[in-house]
Amino acid sequence: METVIEKKVALITGATSGIGKAFAEILSAEDYDLVLVARNSDELNRIAGMEMTRNETKVIPVSLDLSKADSVDRLVAEMAERGIVPDIIVNNAGVGMAGEVVKLSMDRQLQMIDLNVRALSAITMKFLPDMVARNSGGIINVSSVAAFLPGPYMSAYYATKAFVQSFSDGLAEELKGTKVRVMTLCPGPVDTGFQSTAGMDTKRWTYKMMMPKTAEEVAEAGWAGFKAGNRTVFPGLLDLLTAWSAKFLPKMVLMPIIKFFQKPKQS
């Protein structure tokens, strides 16, 4: 039997783990029905079953690789077919890659750019006109403190987040005076699957001293900030200070520090 959506709808990408999964739990508890997107269909179905039982939330799991060029069109078509219009979008799916640009796979770095930048932009551009027409709705784009500074040994990843931040800040200003909101969530390190996917060494003291947060803490801070009407949310004081340091410290001071923190063992 087809799932019928009756309540307000939140579309969440990257909902099978980490921050996206934590957002799914929060928004389900806030009485949203959910459209959850990620590649792992077994995990999507498992989470869908869990949320449906727990909060009587209707969940549409959509298994897609968002780094593929046609994926957003497929998502839009699937939602249109079911007559689903999102009230809230959490553009969260994203990956990182640690290492030197010249040593990392070019194809994988380009796939990361397609996921972190292209898919996020396409989802925003596809659904935003309808939000503007209705004069309601909101988009939470998951950015990072990495958005505010160049990141040697994660250069392409940092650049993707700089795009997310700049794009979202510009959009938020364009939408000023309407009831449609665009917010960025800018965490520092969060203990999720992100680090192992990116090939980061979480045992190093340089990682531990950044005091990683949990996905739940970050999603809760994001949702609270969104409800409060904030444009940018830093889940922790250290995250805010990192972003601020990028504003005030010259690059010639900042770059060697980041390079030291992120230098892979083998380099």
What positions carry a catalytic annotation? Answer: 157
Helix-, strand-, coil-residue percentages of the chain, each rounded to 5: 50, 15, 35
* Residue ranges in contact with ligand NAP by CB under 6 A: 14-20, 38-40, 43, 64-67, 92-96, 115, 142, 144, 187, 189-190, 192-194, 197, 215
- Taking the complex as a whole, the smallest distance from the CB of residue 15 to ligand NAP amounts, in Å, to 6
Q: Which is nearer to ligand NAP, 88 or 115 (CB)?
A: 115
Q: Which is nearer to ligand NAP, 3 or 197 (CB)?
A: 197
- Coil, strand or helix at 153: coil
Q: Which is nearer to ligand NAP, 142 or 180 (CB)?
A: 142
Q: How far apart are CA 62 and CA 164, in angstroms?
A: 23
- Taking the complex as a whole, the smallest distance from the CB of residue 19 to ligand NAP amounts, in Å, to 4
- Taking the complex as a whole, the smallest distance from the CB of residue 256 to ligand NAP amounts, in Å, to 22
SS3 of 4-39: CCCCCEEEEECCCCHHHHHHHHHHHHCCCEEEEEEC
Q: Identify which of 165, 191, 199, 185 has the alpha carbon closest to the alpha carbon of residue 234.
A: 185
Q: Which is nearer to ligand NAP, 86 or 189 (CB)?
A: 189
- Taking the complex as a whole, the smallest distance from the CB of residue 230 to ligand NAP amounts, in Å, to 17
Residues in the chain: 267
Q: How far apart are CA 2 and CA 103, in angstroms?
A: 47
- Coil, strand or helix at 82: coil
